[in-house]
Amino acid sequence: MSDLFNPTEEHLALRQMVRAFSEREVDPQAEEFDRTEQFNQALFRRLGSELGVLGVTVPERFGGAGMDAVAATIVHEELAASDPGFCLAYLAHSMLFVNNLAINGNDEQRERFLPGACSGELIGGMCMSEPGAGTDVLGMSTLAKKDGDHYILDGQKMWITNGAISDTELGDVFLVYAKHEDRSERAISLFLVEKGMEGFSLGQKIKGKLGMRASTTAELVFEGVRVPEANLIGTPGKAVRSMMRNLEIERLTLAAMSLGIARRSIEIMNNYAKERIAFGKSLNHFGQIQRHIAESYAEYMAGRAYVYNTAANLALDSAGNRVDSDGVKLYCAMMAKNVADRAIQVLGGYGYVAEYHVERLWRDAKLLEIGGGTNEAHQKNMTRDLVGREKIL
């Protein structure tokens, strides 16, 4: 019998490995790093040195595991069930930087950065959003100006996950989107920018976030940063297509994170409802509670089937899957937040405090309706792409 969620023995072994690591190592530290708003660098690096999943989609010759979109989905679901904030840092590194470079870079660039990024020696991220350009990404104002065998970058990037790995220290390397000042609005290029380049600095580490506090979020500043031409990814001014292609795997894995949040919330409320006695019966004898549990499970399984079906049909080097990569994130982000909300309701006062984890899961879930594309952006994209279809399937 085929298994949509673990289509091969290799996928099943990956899930078992990551789940065991998450339950043993990730879950116990989640509350502390959420409370202190710190990134657990040491644990993060072990994802590379011990598990080998920091380059889960990267060819083995560059230090990766050489696996597919289903494998990436599995890792994100399992990590997020323990600590969505920690998982978000993983996503920014493994999908937005590592997978992006593996697909769009040349061999010299891959050989220079991917082995360190896959081992955990380097921590990377991707810079697209700006203080005045989020959903309107083509409205970015960071500029790239050609100067001999270098490009000069000027601008700011905002909401960058892994932008800072501590209160004062930048991440190691970033893929940065910038617009050419002398070309059309869509003339955007992608550059490798490294910590230590003159003019590249940490503007601020953003604190006081509602959720995802175990991943760092930062503003990065580019003031006359000289980037060698060798750090240009692909053809000058032609990065929009690669940007859109990488958004598909980003949105798929964000949906997988939603699955992890929902599954953990269901487990917590189901176990609590079995043990908590009210009016002489366990809570799961009452219709109101039964509805919260049953509807949550059904919605989670529906989302899970949609996510893994989309993953099975997503080739990492292709584009044109936006209807479903947006669709899984749109559905699962809302589903995860609603399931976590129900879990809080079932636990009552206990759900409102940190001990039972669901308040953290609820806070973390909200970002998934905003980051990586808002719900409203997905609705717009999907409707636009469906206009040309007389039949949906």
Residues 113 and 129 in one domain: no
Tell which of 216, 233, 250 closes a domain: 233
Average pLDDT, stretch 56-74?
Answer: 98
Distance between CA atoms of 169 and 17, rounded to whole angstroms? 31
Residues 69 and 154 in one domain: no
Q: Containing domain of residue 143, as a range?
A: 125-233
Active site residue 250: yes
Structure tokens at 268: 């917590």
Beta strand pairing call for 277-278 and 281-282: antiparallel
Residues 244 and 379 in one domain: yes
CATH code of 155's domain = 2.40.110.10
Instruction: Note the pLDDT tens digit of each residue in 299-334.
Output: 999 999 999 999 999 999 888 889 999 999 999 999
The percentage of residues in the chain with a pLDDT greater than 70, rounded to a whole number, is 99
Residues 133 and 55 in one domain: no
Please tell me what DSSP assigns to residue 51.
Answer: S
Average pLDDT, stretch 170-193?
Answer: 91
Tell which of 183, 200, 233 closes a domain: 233
Confidence of residue 390 (pLDDT cuts 50, 70, 90): confident
Residues 343 and 312 in one domain: yes
Residues 266 and 206 in one domain: no
Average pLDDT, stretch 13-37?
Answer: 98
Structure tokens at 14: 């990956």
Domain-embedded: residue 324:
yes
Confidence of residue 388 (pLDDT cuts 50, 70, 90): confident
User: Which amino acid type is present at position 185?
Assistant: E
Tell which of 79, 108, 123 closes a domain: 123
Q: Evaluate if residue 1 carries a pLDDT over 70.
A: no
- B/e letters for 174-195, b = 16+ CB within 10 Å, e = fewer, are bbbbbbbeeeeeebbbbbbbbb
Q: What is the 3-state secondary structure (H, E, C) of 168-221?
A: CCECCEEEEEEEECCCCCCCEEEEEEECCCCCEEEEEECCCCCCCCCCCEEEEE
- Position 110 scores a pLDDT of 98
Distance between CA atoms of 210 and 67, rounded to whole angstroms? 34
Helix residue ranges per DSSP H, the chain: 9-21, 27-36, 41-49, 69-82, 84-91, 100-104, 107-119, 240-275, 287-312, 322-347, 358-367, 375-386
Q: Evaluate if residue 183 carries a pLDDT over 80.
A: no
The number of beta carbons lying within 10 Å of the beta carbon of residue 319 is: 15
Q: Angle, to 10 degrees, between the axis of helix 375-386 and the axis of helix 322-347?
A: 140
Structure tokens at 182: 């002398």
Instruction: Note the pLDDT tens digit of each residue in 195-242.
Output: 999 999 999 999 999 999 999 999 999 999 999 999 999 999 999 988
CATH code of 88's domain = 1.10.540.10
Quote the number of domains for the chain: 3
Residues 129 and 96 in one domain: no
The number of beta carbons lying within 10 Å of the beta carbon of residue 349 is: 7
Domain-embedded: residue 392:
no
Instruction: Note the pLDDT tens digit of each residue in 277-286.
Output: 999 999 999 9
Domain-embedded: residue 3:
no
Structure tokens at 30: 């989640």
In this structure, the dihedral spanned by the alpha carbons of residues 132, 135, 137 and 140, taken in order and rounded to 10 degrees, is 0
Residues 100 and 134 in one domain: no
CATH code of 320's domain = 1.20.140.10
Residues 107 and 138 in one domain: no
Secondary structure (DSSP) of 328-362 = HHHHHHHHHHHHHHHHHHHHGGGGGSGGGSHHHHH
Domain-embedded: residue 290:
yes
User: Active site residue: 78, 130, 194, 250, which one?
Assistant: 250
Mean pLDDT lowest among 74-78, 242-246, 249-253, 368-372: 242-246
Place of tokens 């065991």: 20
Residues 276 and 326 in one domain: yes
Domain-embedded: residue 391:
no
- Position 207 scores a pLDDT of 96
Distance between CA atoms of 375 and 326, rounded to whole angstroms? 9
Q: Which residues are CB-neighbours of 32 under 8 A, at least 6 positions away?
A: none
Residues 65 and 83 in one domain: yes
Domain-embedded: residue 100:
yes
Average pLDDT, stretch 40-46?
Answer: 98
Instruction: Note the pLDDT tens digit of each residue in 336-352.
Output: 999 999 999 999 999 99
- Position 318 scores a pLDDT of 83
Element (H, E) at 3: none
Instruction: Note the pLDDT tens digit of each residue in 169-179.
Output: 999 999 999 99
Q: Angle, to 10 degrees, between the axis of helix 84-91 and the axis of helix 358-367?
A: 30
Residues 227 and 133 in one domain: yes
- Position 181 scores a pLDDT of 76
- Position 320 scores a pLDDT of 84
Domain-embedded: residue 2:
no
